[in-house]
Amino acid sequence: MKCPRPSVGIQRSHGKDALTQIRDRVVPGQRLLGLDLGTKTIGLALSDSLLTVATPYETLKRGKFSSDVEKLETIAAREGVGGLVVGLPLNMDGSYGPSAQSTRAFARNFAARCVLPIVLWDERLSTAAVQRDMIAADTTRKRRGASVDKVAAAYILQGALDALRNLPSP
């Protein structure tokens, strides 16, 4: 099942304003899909249907953009996803470096194909925090490598879910 195409341009933004957009557009019972975009993989995490808890889901090997989008659309349809939270790798000073620009381009191109609302969420130090926690839990290097991307996606998504819960009521 394909994601419906947008009939009009939908602005994508980041931060609390974008969370308000997600809150207003996601139907009760739908879930959010978190993405940690890397150059070789995409870490995925899913929220529960109450939008309270993020769980690591899967790590996709990146390919061509169209094939990545098809995989994401299939997962979104299968899992009842109503919106995406994409980790935005800002520089430590808050500026946009090459990775952030690449992420914004991915989100913009994805938005041109699908009507799901997209939030770009600040992911500074998320992978470092996840790796630190995994090392503290004595996770082997091999297991860390296999799961760090999807756990980082869950870390990013959980941050957005926590902020979403703290938004003032409409």
Residue recorded with tokens 């098809």:
70
Indicate the pairing of strand 54-61 with strand 41-47.
antiparallel
- Domain of 101: which CATH number? 3.30.420.140
Q: What is the pLDDT along the chain (170 residues), one digit of tens a residue?
A: 456 544 333 334 455 677 888 888 899 999 999 999 989 999 999 999 999 999 999 999 999 999 999 999 999 999 999 999 999 988 778 788 888 999 999 999 999 998 899 999 887 666 666 566 656 665 565 555 556 789 889 989 999 999 998 888 77
- Range(s) of the domain holding residue 123: 13-165
Let me know if residue 93 belongs to a domain: yes
pTM for this entry = 0.82
Structure tokens at 37: 């975009």
Using alpha carbons, list the distances in angstroms from residue 47 to 32, 65, 98, 117, 119.
Answer: 5, 24, 28, 15, 14
Report the domain count for the chain: 1
